[in-house]
Amino acid sequence: MIERLTKFAQTANLLADAAGEIVRAAWFGQGAVSYKEDRSALTEADTNVERQLRKLIAEHHPDHGILGEEFGEQSIGNEYVWVLDPIDGTRQFGARLLNFGVLIALCYKGTPVLGVIDHPLGHFRYCGIIGLGTTLNGKPLTSRRNLSLDHAVLALANPNSFSGESRRGFDALNGRGVMTGFDGGCLAYGALARGMVDVCLNGPDLEPFDICALVPVVAGAGGCITDWSGAPLSLSSRGAIVASGCPDLHEDVLARLKIQV
């Protein structure tokens, strides 16, 4: 399996390189932003990236399935399935802000085993491979350990993405720790793997293509990432998720979420 994942990581980097070329050209251009029925943003770059990535996957791994945000599922019952979010944070991208990324994941029998969080403008790339660890531009990463919530750095998603029961979970963490940042998107999970952030929280608005790439990046650095009940994440996961830099901290965070939700 490790040998295969190393080979597939080469493909993932190829995909990220291809996506980056399209994204950089679009970010510096004048492309318009449209909005879907759920009010999420869509740009021409989103569809162009996903088309190119699907083409490359078909060329290199024709027996693999694909699940993408823009064009849906293809053979997702296959042993290996690529999960693509061509631009995670399209609202920010459309406004020409910087907190967005390209998410590429590979699942084996439904479990995320390889994940890439790439920032094409910053030229930095987190790559997590289960069993092989997590790197930032090739440098191994380790999340922070032996840390209490009161001394943690928190990254909470856009407050508007929490409502009802999930809002109570958000409120249980908001204001705890030494610092709290908001709406960091996928880059916050990379920062957690790097040991700069200790807790990441997202509400119920996530889909598998938002989630899968984050799992190997966090877990490969020694962190924990689950849904709010503590269940592991998979190709079929949707909804609210939470990540922590170490197991003890994660247990504390889950306990607080459970009380509130």
Single residue among 78, 106, 140 that ends a domain in this structure: 140
Dump the DSSP string for 50-117. Answer: HHHHHHHHHHH-TT-EEEETTTEEESTTSSEEEEEEEEETHHHHHTT-S--EEEEEEEETTEEEEEEE
Segment 164-172 mean pLDDT? 93
Does 241 score more than 80 pLDDT?
yes
81, pLDDT greater than 80: yes
pLDDT for the residue 195: 98
- Examine the pLDDT at 238 and tell me if it is beyond 60: yes
CATH number of the structural domain spanning residue 212 = 3.40.190.80
Strand partners, 125: 118
54-71: b (≥16 Cβ within 10 Å) or e: bebbeeebeebbbbbbbe
Pick the last residue of a domain from 90, 111, 140: 140
Span 14-48, pLDDT tens digits:
999 999 999 999 999 886 666 665 556 568 899 99
Rounded Cα gap, residues 250 and 207, in angstroms: 22
Q: Same structural domain for residues 185 and 59? A: no
Residue 75 pLDDT more than 90?
yes
Q: Are residues 178 and 230 in the same domain?
A: yes
- pTM of the shown model: 0.95
Question: 182-234, pLDDT tens digit by residue?
Answer: 999 999 999 999 999 999 999 999 999 999 999 999 999 999 999 999 999 99
Q: Are residues 109 and 135 in the same domain?
A: yes
Dihedral sign (CA 85, 90, 94, 95) = negative
Residues 136 and 175 in one domain: no
250 and 232 assigned to the same domain? yes
* Together in a domain, 154 and 249: yes
- Say whether both 51 and 85 belong to one domain: yes
Same domain, 197 and 135: no
Domain final residue, candidates 106, 140, 174: 140
- Helix 44-60 × helix 2-27 angle, to 10°: 150
Instruction: At 125, list the tokens.
Output: 């790339």
Residues 136 and 161 in one domain: no
The reply to whether 227 and 128 lie within a common domain is no
Mean pLDDT of the chain: 94
Neighbours of 23 (CB within 10 A): 26
Q: Are residues 155 and 136 in the same domain?
A: no
Q: pLDDT grade, residue 100 (50/70/90)?
A: very high
CB burial string 143-169: b at 16+ within 10 A, e below: bbeebebeebbbbbbeeebbeeebbeb
- Same domain? 172 vs 46: no
pLDDT at 221: 98
Residues whose CB falls within 8 Å of the CB of residue 217, separated by 6 or more in sequence, listed in order: 115, 116, 117, 126, 127, 128, 134, 189, 190, 193
Chain CA centroid to CA 50, Å: 16
| CATH of residue 23 | 3.30.540.10
Q: How many domains does the chain have?
A: 2
Q: What is the domain extent for residue 82?
A: 2-140
In this model, does residue 114 exceed pLDDT 70? yes
